[in-house]
Amino acid sequence: MPEKACRIELDGTVARLRIAGGEQLSRRDLLGQLRKQFEQLAVKEGVRGVLVCGQGAQFCQVAADASLTPSDAARLSAFGQEALFALEGLGKPVVAALSGEVTGLGLELALACSFIVADHSSRFGFPEISQGRLPAFGGTQRLARLVGRSVAKQLLFSGELIDAEEALRVRLVNRLYGAAELEQAAMALLQRVCTRSPLALRVGGEVVDAGYDIDLKTACLLERDAFALCFASRDQKEGMGSFLEKREPQFTGE
* CATH superfamily of this structure's domain 6-193: 2-enoyl-CoA Hydratase; Chain A, domain 1 (3.90.226.10)
Q: Compute the distance between CA of residue 35 and CA of residue 147 in angstroms, rounded to an integer.
A: 26
Catalytic residue among 23, 39, 82, 128: 128
Catalytic residue among 9, 88, 101, 108: 108
- Local confidence band at 63 (pLDDT 50, 70, 90 cut-offs): confident
Q: Which helix (H) or strand (E) holds 94?
A: strand 94-98
Of the two residues 2 and 197, the one the predictor is more confident about is 197
Residue boundaries of the structural domains of the chain: 6-193, 198-245
Q: What is the mean pLDDT of the chain?
A: 91
- Please give the pLDDT value at position 3: 56
Distance (Å) of CA 241 to CA 234, 235, 236: 10, 10, 8
In the chain, what percentage of residues exceed pLDDT 90? 75
pLDDT at 58 over 80: no
* Strands ordered across the beta sheet of 94-98: 6-11, 14-19, 49-53, 94-98, 115-119, 175-177
170 SS3 class? coil
User: Which class is 198-245 in CATH?
Assistant: mainly alpha
- Please give the pLDDT value at position 122: 94
- 248 is annotated as an active-site residue: no
- 128 is annotated as an active-site residue: yes
The model's pTM is 0.92
